[in-house]
Amino acid sequence: MLALGKLLELTLAGREPAEKTQTTVEGVRLRWLSEGALEVRPPEARDNGSDVLLSSGIHGNETAPIELLDRLLHDIARGDLKPRARILFLFGNPEAMRRGERYLETDVNRLFNGRHEQSSGPEALRAAELEQLARSFFSLPDRSRLHYDLHTAIRGSKIEQFALYPWKEGRQHSRRELARLRAAGMEAVLLQNKNSITFSAFTYEQLGAEAFTLELGKARPFGQNQGVNVSRLETRLKQIIEGDEPETESLDGLQLFSVSREVIKHSDAFILHLPADVENFSELKKGYLLAEDIAKSRWVIEEEGARIIFPNPKVKNGLRAGILIVPTTDAGLA
């Protein structure tokens, strides 16, 4: 196997490869761009006009997606997987990966769409670098653009595998992309309705990609991901890479949600009235006092069918401490 196929090994060791470019016997070119960043380019005759960005490790302790991308890259480097798409593999926060930590100082996935300019430290620099790598990769004209940013969650979830679909004014969510997500094993999709500061929001809003944050299960250390079943996603990613993806329009079994409100922590006095082990997608009854904050008073549940995702009272002041979501329909999809 080509040495560049061992991107994860290089990244965890903090090493730079001696050779920055290598080519497989089938003519697939692997090019090391930066720490944790590798571009895969098929032979020109096989190129189907698709650009696919696959990122993981934005949070360093979310290892199942990292291992998934490592397997795909090994298959490409060995010649077992024969790309027709250009692919950019990104491991988002290498130092946090080496330490087994979610992040070092600042959550990288809250530093996109210009937020890194308001911050400092290594993770702000990394977010800026990731934006530039994505911008350069998606700079070729007249090509389809797809970005899957792969994660696992801090906590358990009543719906284990789900996706977040960013929003941009004047742009409709795609039914075809939702069907692709369903085929990849996603059980639910959250259709967002405001701008965001995550990596997938950056590529969706700024670079015109179809982009998604995928949550694949619960975060576990390297080598302990037997309970995270990514087989359907792995199969679909191989099909996307090789350009032999079956067309599907079915959304059967896919639950759709929209954001009702974000719960923002404004001060150190913030209190979230939920158990520490509450699961994502837990239902909340009308009238329930969800949170209190000296700067923003009270959040009381008013919505029918409200559920909570990503509850985290430990975030920094000014960031969201949870998202209230409600069921929605597929009306309005493009």
Q: Running along the chain, 334 residues long, what does each successive block of 10 average in pLDDT?
A: 93 96 96 98 97 98 96 97 98 97 94 90 96 98 98 90 96 96 97 94 98 92 81 97 92 94 92 93 96 84 94 89 91 75
Please tell me the predicted confidence (pLDDT) of residue 247: 87
Distance CA(320)–CA(48), nearest Å, equals 40
195 in Cβ contact with 132 (< 8 Å): no
Main-chain dihedrals φ then ψ at residue 288, nearest 5 degrees? -70, 135
- The first and second tokens of residue 306, run together, are 């409200």
Specify whether the CB–CB gap between 162 and 190 falls below 8 A: yes
Pick the CATH number of 261-327 from 2.40.50.630, 1.20.140.10, 3.20.20.70, 3.40.50.970: 2.40.50.630
Partners of 257 in the β-ladder = 190, 327
Residues of the chain with CATH 3.40.630.10: 3-242
Residue 296: what pLDDT? 61
Catalytic residue of the set 95, 215, 262, 292: 215
Q: How far is CA 85 from CA 39, 101, 146, 199, 319, in A?
A: 11, 32, 10, 21, 37
Task: Reply yes or no on domain 3-242 having CATH 3.40.630.10.
Answer: yes
- The rounded distance, in Å, linking the Cα atoms of 139 and 243 is 21
**Residue 223, token pair as written in the block:** 């080598």
pLDDT at 167: 95
H-helix or E-strand containing 67? helix 63-78
Torsion over CA: 280, 286, 291, 295 (sign): positive
Using CA atoms, how far apart are residues 96 and 123, in angstroms rounded to an integer? 10
Q: What are the Cα distances from residue 86, in Å, to 17, 138, 151?
A: 21, 10, 22
Q: pTM to 2 decimals?
A: 0.94
Which residue in 301, 224, 305, 295 sits closest to 265, CA to CA?
Answer: 295
Closest CA to 130 of 37, 212, 4, 17: 37
Known binding-site residues equal 59, 62, 151
CB 88 within 8 A of CB 140: no
Burial status of residue 67 (CB atoms within 10 A of its CB: 0-12, 13-18, 19 or more): middle
Q: Is 205 a catalytic residue?
A: no
Q: Measured between alpha carbons, how far is 192 from 173 in angstroms, rounded to an integer?
A: 9
- Let me know how many helices (H) and strands (E) the chain has, helices first: 7, 16
Residues of the chain with CATH 2.40.50.630: 261-327
Q: Give bridge partners of residue 308 from the DSSP assignment.
A: 282, 324
Q: Which residues are annotated as a binding site for Zn(2+)?
A: 59, 62, 151
